[in-house]
Amino acid sequence: MSNSNNILGHSLSFPLRIESDGRFAWSEGESNIRESLTVILKTEPGERIALPDFGAGLGRFLFEPNNAATHARIERAITGALTRWERRIQVESVEVVADHIDLSAALATITYRLVATSSRERISVAVPLKSP
């Protein structure tokens, strides 16, 4: 494992996978951080008994309209959750727009910097909303 991967993290992969030798797969480096972001964004508060506040709670927007007001609330939820739960990154921006392919979803694009290396990364996630 390289030194930069050590400072960026090393843990079980998500979703859990089994390697060909029968052992659990591990993730490290930038992919470990992306997996962590996915876990935070897809977790609803209350799902984890030991951390009842953990997660972004994006499921609460399921029946909300796909408009600017909802997009702003999603941006705040994402920024707050990632700032609180993932200390290895610094959120630079969160942009939420209507998904032009799936009209019942918004597309959130998150730009962040890795604290350890100052490298800029970007991920996108679809947030299900009210069907048109």
pTM of the complete model:
0.82
Query: Residue 2: which pLDDT band, with cuts at 50, 70 and 90?
Result: very low
What is the per-residue pLDDT across 11-57, written as a single tens digit (0 to 9) for each? 555 555 676 777 766 566 688 889 899 999 999 999 999 999 999 99
> How far is it, in rounded angstroms, from Cα 126 to Cα 66?
12
pLDDT of 5: 47
Domains and CATH numbers, the chain: 3-128 (3.10.450.40)
Q: Which amino acid is residue 103, in one-letter code?
A: L
> How far is it, in rounded angstroms, from Cα 77 to Cα 73?
6
What is the per-residue pLDDT across 51-94, written as a single tens digit (0 to 9) for each? 999 999 999 999 999 999 999 999 999 999 999 999 999 999 99
Contact indicator for 113, 89 with CB cutoff of 8 Å: yes
Q: What is the DSSP letter of 8?
A: H
Contact indicator for 87, 110 with CB cutoff of 8 Å: no
More confident residue, 33 or 110: 110
> How far is it, in rounded angstroms, from Cα 82 to Cα 10?
18
